[in-house]
A and B are shown apart, each in its own frame.
Chain A
């Protein structure tokens, strides 16, 4: 039985080496992303420790329903991602395309909800530096909460946009028949990126939405 030739770049010895390099490369990149978001998590932590009351009160201005829905949307999109990788692995071209498309769709839903929330915040005059007006006890400290909210969810949203772009490219490649059970590394690697962005949100959600609900 003839070996199906796999796509191996010229500088690699074989497919296994290329796959190992791709996997390590993506994980190394995700490590940099941990430190990138991590800096802001540290900042959030310091200020939460310094201004616990103001932060808890400010967090009650978040829309917990939209936040929870968005969390579920992202988790669902991670499911569609693993199902697309699974489809590629099983050489199921149609399923692959469908799950890639679903991932993009769910990503867009997430962004839609996010920007709706941003619009609400703007209307409620809770955007620091622009038109900030806060009726609580300590507006300056609440402003710091909102600064981190916009900075961190904004950076997260930027990563979502990039992720959606990547998955659109994957869709085009998949539609052209580029992936098979012999080669679907880009789908795998993009999946890792997408899951990472999901994990970041898994931490952002409680830190911004659930702080002060119990008081």
Chain B
């Protein structure tokens, strides 16, 4: 009797999800895949809390008057939104979830170099979140996520110290994750896996980890000094005591500019994976894309002064920073060109991950080009602290990074959960998100250019129409984010079981069962093929 080869499991198999049961087996796990899921839960919760703050202030901004909250509360809402979204969602997002899950698997390793450090990273994020949320519940901070001095260190009567402790812990968490990735990628690649056979997802995470290691400690010590100044009345950033508030800004932005590349580089790694898989083609000019990640990481450290053009920074330093900021756009453009060239002539299937990837390319390009605009000194003086800036960074963070995250989540969902998500609902949600996103943020470019300042809860009447459009878009966007929450959770129980490689991808992580066993590979694989080897795969039928 001829047995038909089924590509889904027919009997219960031990894998990382059922290897051990009970809360303790999760809270004390050292399996990178379980830790990735712990992170997934944590950052999802933080995302919706940060999003709730946005719902409230977009509600306020639907009318020109301050009729929903008072200005102090409004300040606390946008501060909470920024702090939570930046430090507790975007910075960890892809690295801590998809990175943790996939980096060892993509290089043929059994785990990261330091599994217990990985678990500690998660605990640090959680404890940091407890501090930050505790501060929010107690009344929050009204300093903005940027904590400019001397307001944050001397004059604000809000819970700055508690919040900073939370941010500090989250930062330490990301430092340890970056350290783990860098050491793992250097020392634990499978035999035959040379640097130029690595998936671009790995290059992206390597570059991200460089930034985590080199930048985060600076913001950590800076915020620490803010706390010391507040608690002991030191005069480090306080001008009335001889201190310099611009020094705070230098130290703060030295990290916070590269931080935006922490937020977007991993997404770019996802896009490279998704574009190649769904156009069934090798990436166009692999080395340029790989090196562009490193270039972004390095150049990203040289441009922070572009946040300070109107702060009193010297004109000559501003000119240098402006010029360097133009340069940092180049490697990003290289990626966009190469992705486009990869798609060209490819055999394209419009699965949800690719839709998010295409969305990334379009929206990131808009965000990136507006960044070049703002890097110009003349334009910057006009649009600084207006909604133009807000729109610019949301196009990159939400239109770019978050879309990449969702695309990656969908792409690797079968591997992570062993289930297929419902494609129809997924496409629908992607469309809602795309429409909602543009409706929310495109009007903000116009608002900013027309002069509406950011961080104000009241505004002149003539800006109301655009603000209403933006708030309407935000509601649609919110619904768009809730839909995947529902069907992804649903699929964990009721989704069709996934095979090892439902997308037919060439990646090493797809050579394991879905979900993978705890130790990933029965035997350490030996790599002989180049990466994204789609043509050869086709010819073997």
Contacts and interface: CB of A to CB of B under 8 A. Distances in A.
| A–B: direct contact at CB < 8 Å | yes
Contacts of A147: 228, 232, 234-236
Interface string B184-226: 1011100000000000000000000000011111101110010
A43 B183 contact: no
A50 B241 CA distance: 13
Interface stretch (A34-42, A79-87, A110-118, A176-184): A34-42
Nearest to B520: A11
A123 interface: no
A43 B235 contact: no
Contacts of B228: 147, 151
Interface stretch (B83-91, B243-251, B273-281): B243-251
A20 B214 CA distance: 21
B234 A39 contact: no
Q: Chain A interface: which size bin?
A: 35 or more
Contact of A128 (B216, B235, B250): B235
- Among B109, B213, B242, B244, find the residue whose CB has the most chain A CB atoms closer than 10 A: B242
A21 interface: yes
Nearest to A9: B115
A25 B179 CA distance: 7
A11 B114 CA distance: 9
B406 interface: no
A43 B225 contact: yes
B222 to A, nearest CB: 6
Given A11-B111, A39-B221, A43-B225, A130 B179 contact: no
B510 to A, nearest CB: 21
A214 B233 CA distance: 31
Contact of B251 (A13, A21, A39): A39
A33 B157 CA distance: 32
Contact of B243 (A25, A40, A144): A144
Nearest to A132: B233
Contacts of A17: 187-188
Mostly, the B contact residues are helix
Interface string B242-270: 11100100110010000000000000000
Contacts of A140: 235, 241-242
A172 interface: no
Contacts of A24: 182-183, 186-187
B95 to A, nearest CB: 15
A50 B243 CA distance: 10
A12 B250 CA distance: 41
Contacts of B231: 129
Nearest to B222: A39
Q: Chain B interface: which size bin?
A: 35 or more
B104 to A, nearest CB: 8
Interface string A2-42: 00000000111100010011001100110111011111101
B135 interface: no
A20 B235 CA distance: 44
Contacts of B109: 11
A141 interface: yes
Contacts of B243: 144
Contact of B215 (A10, A35, A143): A35
Interface in A150-175: 151, 155
A42 B217 contact: no
A69 interface: no
Interface string B107-151: 001111111000000000000000000000000000000000000
Contacts of A51: 242
Contacts of B187: 17, 20-21, 24
A119 interface: no
A46 interface: yes
Contacts of B247: 43, 46
Nearest to A24: B183
A129 B242 contact: no
Contact of B221 (A29, A37, A129): A37
Contacts of B303: none
27 contacts: A11-B111, A11-B113, A20-B187, A21-B184, A24-B182, A24-B183, A25-B179, A29-B179, A31-B214, A32-B175, A32-B217, A35-B213, A35-B218, A36-B217, A36-B218, A39-B217, A39-B222, A39-B225, A50-B244, A129-B232, A144-B234, A144-B235, A144-B236, A144-B243, A151-B228, A151-B234, A155-B221
Interface of B: 109-115, 175, 179, 182-184, 186-188, 213-218, 220-222, 225, 228, 231-236, 241-244, 247, 250-251, 254, 519, 524
List 5 tightest A-B contacts by C-beta distance, closest first.
A129-B232, A129-B233, A36-B217, A11-B111, A147-B234
